[in-house]
């Protein structure tokens, strides 16, 4: 965070300072801002956020012992650290983030990109950050810091040396993206796709469209909207950009795309695509597994070009990325049994894409095994969407479908109903039961996909399988 006095901080967040030790209102604070006391070090700012299972105020003394210079609290705490008392710490960090970003932008050449979409946000954010970091100081979210807490915390890492801020905007209800993007008014916004992820919270696919389009509406006049030409709902955001005085740059496989993939080949070692960029053909060799990640790479490349990055340099940086993020199409295991751990998040679209990738990278004589768990946040659509994934798995010829968790039972029943009734599909209530089965069942030549939403916890099952078969 940029340097601010305690008095300045208090004014920005409309709070009341409670000083400790030798601190005065003019004491300068400039450390990292975090809600996790385990990440706090000397000079940092601890945010005591109340939670569902615990209260951050309980950890203020620990943060003080770790060297925190300030705590942001909703009530004073008996601890040897200066505090600013506010009505709501989440609102306070948003206001602080807005001030910090505006200050840095006013002093120099800070460029801000926002990324949203039903799938692919984190991968695209990481790919774009990887391109930009060689152009200058770049701040991007850790993991999926894309909500009302994570997004402001990322923004607060901006300093006067930062040239690029890449923000990921997720949402579980209408208005959230507008509120988060409104804190920084991005120069560029990427919309990847409008799918069924979080549809339960939004109330359906059309409501999801309106929520994702909030990023386009939040762009600064004269900015750039980077839109997926292949997704009709994303393409329908172009008039919003026009009304905003925003330029549209298209990516995808359609002929209208400014950055287009005309041929894609998927293998166990990565994905190769022929690209057409402003009329010139180039080759992209991604090490990241999965045809669907080509679209994420196209989006990142389109954004980088809009920011003035040389095309060939950007492609070379994309090709250097070995893993987009832990638990996202992460190769594990060894030559005997290959594990693909993609269990950090899941939606109907990403489930289908991951299953197709499994089919594409499995050679003749090898066996496809899909270990599948529940997809969360689908609301009333959960049953039919789990049914659909079961059908896809069977129709792709997956030889073993291992369904884990009671919330995913519909997926298992769908697979059985579609024809996997002779032992091809099995069900286990717990990951431990599935692990015991898989350790005995997997054999040389198996290619194993582990896929579920984060809440299902299968990412840890994937890690365990990777260790056993490494």
Rounded Cα distance between 458 and 425, Å, is 17
Q: Is 122 labelled as part of a ligand binding site?
A: yes
Phi–psi pair at 298, nearest 5 degrees: -60, -40
Q: Is 121 labelled as part of a ligand binding site?
A: yes
Q: Is 41 labelled as part of a ligand binding site?
A: no
Please list, residue by residue across 203-227, b when 16 or more beta carbons sit within 10 angstroms of its beta carbon and e when fewer do.
eeeeebbbbbbbbbbbbbeebbbbb
Phi–psi pair at 338, nearest 5 degrees: -100, 130
Q: Is 451 labelled as part of a ligand binding site?
A: no
Q: Is 5 labelled as part of a ligand binding site?
A: no
Q: Is 118 labelled as part of a ligand binding site?
A: yes
Q: Is 123 labelled as part of a ligand binding site?
A: yes
Would you tell me the crossing angle of helices 431-441 and 458-468 to the nearest 10 degrees? 30
* Maximal CA-CA distance, the chain: 74
Are 303 and 120 in contact, with CB atoms under 8 Å apart? Answer: no
Annotated binding site for ATP: 117-123
Annotated binding site: 117-123
């Amino acid at each position: 965070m940029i340097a601010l006095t305690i008095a300045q901080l208090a004014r920005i967040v409309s709070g009341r300072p409670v000083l400790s030790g030798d601190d005065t209102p003019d004491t300068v604070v400039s450390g990292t801002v975090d809600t996790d006391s385990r990440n706090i070090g000397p000079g940092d700012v601890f945010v005591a956020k109340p939670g569902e299972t615990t209260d951050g105020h309980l950890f203020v003394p620990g943060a003080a012992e770790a060297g925190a210079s300030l705590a942001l609290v909703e009530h004073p705490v008996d601890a040897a650290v200066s505090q600013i008392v506010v009505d709501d710490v989440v609102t306070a960090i948003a206001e602080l983030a807005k001030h910090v970003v505006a200050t840095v932008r006013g002093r120099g050449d800070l460029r801000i990109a926002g990324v949203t979409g039903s799938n692919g946000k984190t991968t695209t954010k990481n790919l774009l950050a990887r391109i930009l970091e060689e152009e200058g100081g770049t701040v991007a979210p850790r993991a999926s810091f894309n909500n009302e807490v994570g997004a402001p915390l990322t923004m607060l890492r901006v300093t006067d040396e930062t040239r690029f801020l890449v923000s990921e905007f997720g949402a579980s209800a209408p208005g959230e993206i507008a509120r988060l993007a409104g804190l920084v008014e991005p120069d560029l916004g990427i919309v990847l796709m409008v799918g069924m992820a979080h549809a339960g919270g939004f109330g359906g696919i059309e409501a999801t469209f309106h929520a994702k389009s909030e990023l386009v509406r939040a762009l600064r006049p004269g900015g750039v909207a980077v839109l997926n030409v292949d997704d009709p709902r994303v393409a329908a955001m172009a008039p919003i950009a026009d009304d905003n005085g925003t330029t549209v740059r298209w990516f995808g496989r359609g002929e209208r795309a400014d950055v287009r993939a005309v041929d894609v080949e998927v293998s166990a070692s990565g994905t190769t695509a022929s690209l057409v960029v402003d009329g010139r053909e180039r080759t992209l060799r991604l090490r990241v597994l999965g045809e669907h990640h080509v679209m994420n790479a196209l989006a990142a490349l389109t954004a980088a070009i809009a920011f003035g990055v040389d095309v060939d340099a950007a492609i070379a940086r994309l090709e250097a990325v070995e893993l987009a993020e832990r638990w996202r199409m992460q190769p594990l295991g060894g030559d005997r049994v290959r594990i693909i751990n993609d269990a950090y998040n899941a939606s109907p679209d990403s489930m289908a894409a991951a299953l197709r990738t499994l089919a594409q990278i499995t050679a003749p004589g090898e066996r496809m095994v899909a270990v599948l768990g529940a997809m969360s946040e689908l609301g009333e659509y959960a049953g039919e969407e789990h049914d659909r994934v079961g059908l896809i798995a069977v129709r792709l010829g997956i030889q073993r479908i291992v369904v884990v968790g009671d919330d995913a039972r519909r997926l298992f029943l769908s697979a059985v109903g579609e024809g996997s009734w002779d032992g091809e599909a099995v069900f286990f209530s717990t990951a431990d039961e599935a692990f015991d089965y898989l350790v005995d069942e997997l054999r040389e030549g198996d290619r194993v996909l582990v896929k579920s939403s984060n809440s299902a916890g299968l990412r840890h099952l994937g890690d365990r399988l990777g260790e056993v078969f490494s």
